[in-house]
Amino acid sequence: MVDIVFVDHDGSEHKVEARSGSTVMLAAVTNGVPGIDADCGGSCSCATCHVFVHEDWIEKVGKRNPTEEAMLSLNPDRKTNSRLSCQIPVSEELNGLIVTTPEFQF
């Protein structure tokens, strides 16, 4: 299992376990993490699974795909470390990953 820490905009932490091969979004939804609605179910068409990746993890998480990039371009709260969590596959290399959920998603 892979540990992932979701940090709310107010600093509250939610540590969850995720299976390799799943996604960061599914780890959040399965464990009831607030601020991740995932309205489209992971098809990269709603952007309600937006997270900010901690700077220590940006390289390991990898780059946005083109569809994700297009979705995030519509989001006024986008930052350089923005990702759609449904587009981040969980792998053992991400054990300890830290992401923050945006305030507007609460």
Residue ranges that bind ligand FES, judged by CB under 6 A: 25, 38-40, 42, 44-49, 84, 86
Q: Which residue is nearest to ligand FES (CB)?
A: 86
Instruction: Please report where in the chains the tokens 């098809």 appear, as a residue.
Output: 43
Q: Within 10 A of 38 (CB to CB), how many other CB atoms are there?
A: 19
Tell me whether residue 11 or residue 89 sits nearer to ligand FES (CB atom): 89
Tell me whether residue 2 or residue 38 sits nearer to ligand FES (CB atom): 38
Closest CB 25 distance from ligand FES, rounded Å: 5
Closest CB 37 distance from ligand FES, rounded Å: 8
Closest CB 23 distance from ligand FES, rounded Å: 8
Tell me whether residue 2 or residue 72 sits nearer to ligand FES (CB atom): 72
Q: Which helix (H) or strand (E) holds 67?
A: helix 66-73
Tell me whether residue 27 or residue 49 sits nearer to ligand FES (CB atom): 49
Do 70 and 103 touch, CB atoms closer than 8 A?
A: no
Task: Give the C-alpha separation, 100 to 102, whole Å.
Answer: 6
Torsion of Cα atoms, 102 then 69 then 54 then 39, to 10°: 40
